Amino acid sequence: LTQDELKKIAAYKAVEYVESNMVLGLGTGSTAKHAVARIAELLNQGKLHNIIGIPTSKITYDQAVSLGIPLSDLDSHPIVDLAIDGADEVDPFLNLVKGRGGSLLREKMVESSCRKFVVIVDESKMVKHLGGSGLAMPVEVVPFCWKFTAMRLKALFEDSGCVAKLRTLGENESGGVPYVTDNGNYIVDLYFKKDIGDLKVASDEILRLAGVVEHGMFIDMATTVIVAGELGVTVKDK
């Protein structure tokens, strides 16, 4: 099975939690894309009705519009029944790293206000500790003096050998054009040489920095994680 087939299997499994009349958080990324498509398919087959989607990014908004899923927002629907989204990393306590697709702020707004948050991943996303994989831990920051903020973020995690890099479009020598989020902010990606210890402490320290908008650690938020692997699908409940 290809990685995309595994993503699709996890996504379809998650959509089994969807019932008619639900307000649904629609996730962002290559895995969540399959869940959005599946929801639209069931709506069009008449197997689901009266669904309202709350998209977690402009790209998911566009996909849902193109598929005919009725949409609204958190202002009109502050309580979301179920959110389905992917993740970049999942630890044994179902804590997540998200945001490598750049949508972490709107995702966290939607997913922190939902009754049930089902995460869909292929098995490659499972890790022992968040941030230890050497892959990016995204932090959304205001563009104003982003270098100052990046320097302070790096200093927070000096003993974890932290490197802080502005996310740019295309990788070229001149550093390229800064990636701009749906909310008009920049992303500073943090890279750690070893895991960052207590996640809640790290989260509080990051969020206390004026200039930081949000980070990609989703702690104690997932209620269920669906993992699709070569040997089958595993459902992990909190």
By CB under 6 A, name the binding residues for ligand DER.
27-32, 85-88, 98-101, 103-104, 107
Listed in sequence order, the residues at least 6 apart from 51 whose beta carbon sits closer than 8 Å to its beta carbon are 18, 20, 21, 22, 24, 39, 43, 69, 70
What's the min distance (Å) between Cβ of 155 and ligand DER? 26
What's the min distance (Å) between Cβ of 98 and ligand DER? 4
Q: Which is nearer to ligand DER, 17 or 179 (CB)?
A: 179
Cα gap 83→112, rounded to integer Å: 9
User: Measured in Å, how far apart are the chain's first and last C-alpha atoms?
Assistant: 27
What's the min distance (Å) between Cβ of 14 and ligand DER? 12
Q: Is 107 an annotated catalytic residue?
A: yes
What's the min distance (Å) between Cβ of 102 and ligand DER? 6
Point out the catalytic residue in the list 5, 16, 89, 107. 107
Q: Which is nearer to ligand DER, 137 or 150 (CB)?
A: 137
Q: Which is nearer to ligand DER, 103 or 160 (CB)?
A: 103
Q: Which is nearer to ligand DER, 30 or 203 (CB)?
A: 30
What's the min distance (Å) between Cβ of 46 and ligand DER? 28
Cα gap 120→87, rounded to integer Å: 7
Cross-strand bridge partners of residue 178: 168
- If one counts every other C-beta atom within 10 angstroms of the C-beta of residue 61, the result is 20
| DSSP-derived pairing of the beta strands 186-191 and 163-166 | antiparallel
**Listed residue (219, 154, 220) closest to 192, CA to CA:** 154
**Listed residue (194, 35, 40, 31) closest to 128, CA to CA:** 194
Q: Which is nearer to ligand DER, 56 or 152 (CB)?
A: 56
- If one counts every other C-beta atom within 10 angstroms of the C-beta of residue 168, the result is 15
30: left (phi over 0), alpha (psi -120 to 50) or beta: alpha
Catalytic residues: 107
